[in-house]
Structures are given as C-alpha cells and as structure tokens.
Structure 1
Amino acid sequence: MTDETPVGGADGDSEDGTGDERDLTHVDEEGNVQMVDVGSKPDTRRRAVARGTIHLTESTVDAIRDDQIGKGDVLATARIGAIQAVKHTWETIPMCHQIPITNVETTFDVADERVTLTVTVETTGKTGCEMEALEGVTTGLNVVWDMVKAAEKDDDGQYPDTQISDVQVVSKEKHQE
C-alpha cells in the first residue's frame, strides 16, 4: 500500500521541481520509498535563505526588546534552537541527506507586533540546504513562541494574537567548485 504523492523539488528532482510522475525520485519501481543516491553528483557550494514571521502582541514584543521575558533571552535562545535544528534536519525530514553545514546565520527583525527570523545555511556537497534553512526558521520561531507563552496567553489560556506565518525559501544558490 502506498500513499505517494509527487511534490517535486526534492533531491535528484529537476531544478524547477517539475519532475514527471513516472520519474519519482523517492520511490523505486515497486513503489517503495527510498533515499535518492546523490553519490555521483559533484560537490558544489550551496546556500539557502529562508524566512518566517511570528505575530505577537505589542506588549510581548516590547518585553522581548527589554529582556523582560521570565524564561530568559528570547532571541538568543531562538538562535540556538534554529542552529540546532539546521544541524539535525536529516533526523527529522524523511529521506533528507545529512550534509556538512559550513555556516549558519540567523537574523531577527523585531517590529511592533512581530518578529521575523531569517536563516541562511551554507554547505559544500552533493545536495541543497533549503530544508535545513526551513527547519531553522520553523524551530527558531517555535522557540520564540515557547519562550513567550505566558505573555501571549489570554484569560482563557488561548493564543488569539499569536501565529507563525509566511515561512518560505527566499533564495537558493548553487556554485560549481
């Protein structure tokens, strides 16, 4: 029994993500899920940038700026979480290759009612690093949420103003060595 749906954009797929259904890269001839063999691909320098936003109340953002969140330094903790997520992406995304991360940069843009996190990942290898950048963004933003939960809850214990949105790959680059 298989529930495979071709989505494109995966390791070994065409660069534009428009692989033909008969050319599924993560499914063998019998329909079994498999990891793509990238062994014959040349090593290339690669860079991916992803970004996402967490929407918060203005008072929570002020508390982040003033380092007044009871759990500690929100952005420093989120930065650590983002970097750890980048390094462990291969453990959480099925069929994702473990790649040598050569650099991770995290940038926070703190505005009135939101915090935007941009994660840049660099590697030299046989496959891209977009998933690592996305994992960094989503985990980093989840860490922000975890750190500010007490400030964001309403009287009913809900989060009516809190949401993560606009997670996307901003760019990806590949340069032959």
Structure 2
Amino acid sequence: MSAPELTHFRDGLPRMVDVSEKVATVREATAEAWVKLPVEARTALEQGTNPKGDPLVVARLAGLAGSKRTADLVTLCHPIPVSGAEVRVTLEDAGVRVWARVRTTAPTGVEMEALTAVTVAALNVYDMLKAASKAIEITGVRLLSKVGGKSGAYVAAGTSADE
C-alpha cells in the first residue's frame, strides 16, 4: 500500500493548496476534546465561585470564536466563511467534554475549524480553572465526522456522525 499524498508539501517544501478550481459545496465537520479535572478543579467548577465567570460558558464562546480564526492559527489553512458553528461544553463523569460542529459552503473542508473550536474551548476551560489546579489535562482531541468534499464522508470508529 502506498502512502497517501500529503497535499501541503511539494518537492519537500510546504505549500498552501490551490483550491481556486474546486467547486464550493456544503461541508460539515464535528470534533471533540476532553478536559480531565483533578478533584480540586472539579470542585471549583461545581461550586461556581470563579470570579471570571462560568468556565463552561466562557469556553463555549471561545470555541465559537476559535472556529472563525482557524486560518490565523493553522499556518496552511485557507480562510473560509464559517456559515454555522455549534459548541457544547458539558461536565460529565470523565471530565469536561467539548464538542463542536462547523459548517460552510466553500471549496475546502472545515475539519480544522472544528478541531480548532474544541481545542480553543478546552484551553479556556484550563485557563478558567488553573487557579484550582495546574494538573488539568487536555486530551482526546479528534475528528468525529466530516461530510462533503472530494474525499467523501468520514465517521470515526465507535462514533456516529451526530455525536
């Protein structure tokens, strides 16, 4: 089996892929991340005494903003119009689950926007709770699904497109 073509490299050098000839289609991607909380951080979150506000609400807003700023943060990403974004930040037994769905009509996909949304949201959970514990861990950042584009649909093993 041959290795897949890495489109961001040509002749060993990085490049931005030319999408000018690609047709704009509806594209959607979902991603998730987890924030593992030590007891002290979970207690602080549950007590709701953070002077900065509710960490889950702040993280949600940060994730939405992050989805729109992906091209500023990921070097070879195209700036694309985000036509819709949804971010959920929920406290669960395993920690804080961050989930995002991003949509666009563009000539390139939104996987990076969804991944950026969950990562930025998770970083904001850390920032909001770091006074309680520096041992907070961000983990499990992954693409759950994508639809649209030349490569077709993708759903991560063990998940559904709606997760």
1:78 paired to 2:63: no
Name which one, 1 or 2, has greater alpha-carbon Rg. Answer: 1
Q: Secondary structure at the match of 1:150?
A: coil
State the partner residue of 1:174: 148
Structure 1 contact 57–113 (Cα < 8 Å) conserved: no
Percent of aligned pairs with the same amino acid: 36
Q: Gapped runs of 5+ residues in structure 1?
A: 1-17, 154-158
**What amino acid is aligned across from residue 139 of structure 2 in structure 1?**
S
TM-score normalized with structure 2 length = 0.82
Q: What is the match of residue 68 of structure 1?
A: 49
Aligned to 1:146, the other structure's residue is in SS state: helix
1:118 counterpart (70, 95, 99) = 99
Matched ranges for 1:26-41 at <5 A: 26-29=8-11, 31-41=12-22
1:149 equivalent in alignment to 2:130: yes
Q: Give structure 1 regions of 4+ aligned residues with deviation exceeding 6 angstroms.
A: none
Q: Could you give the per-residue CA deviations for residues 67-102 of structure 1, whole angstroms, max 9, x where no partner exists?
A: 222321111111121111111100111110000100
Q: Aligned equivalents of 1:152 and 1:59: distance in 2?
A: 6
Equivalence for 2:121: 140
Question: What secondary structure, in the 3-state scheme, does the structure 2 residue paired with 1:127 have?
Answer: coil
What's the C-alpha RMSD, in Å, of the aligned pairs? 1.9
Following superposition, the deviation at residue 40 of structure 1 comes to 0.9
Scaled by the length of structure 1, the TM-score of the pair is 0.76
d(CA) in 1 for partners of 2:103 and 2:43? 32
The question of whether the paired residues in 2 share the 8 Å contact of 1:58 and 1:112 is answered with no
Partner in structure 1 of residue 37 of structure 2: 56
Partner of 2:89: 108
Mark the runs of 5 or more structure 2 residues left unpaired by the alignment: 151-163
| SS, match of residue 83 in structure 2 | strand
Q: 2:4 aligns with which of 16, 19, 29?
A: 19
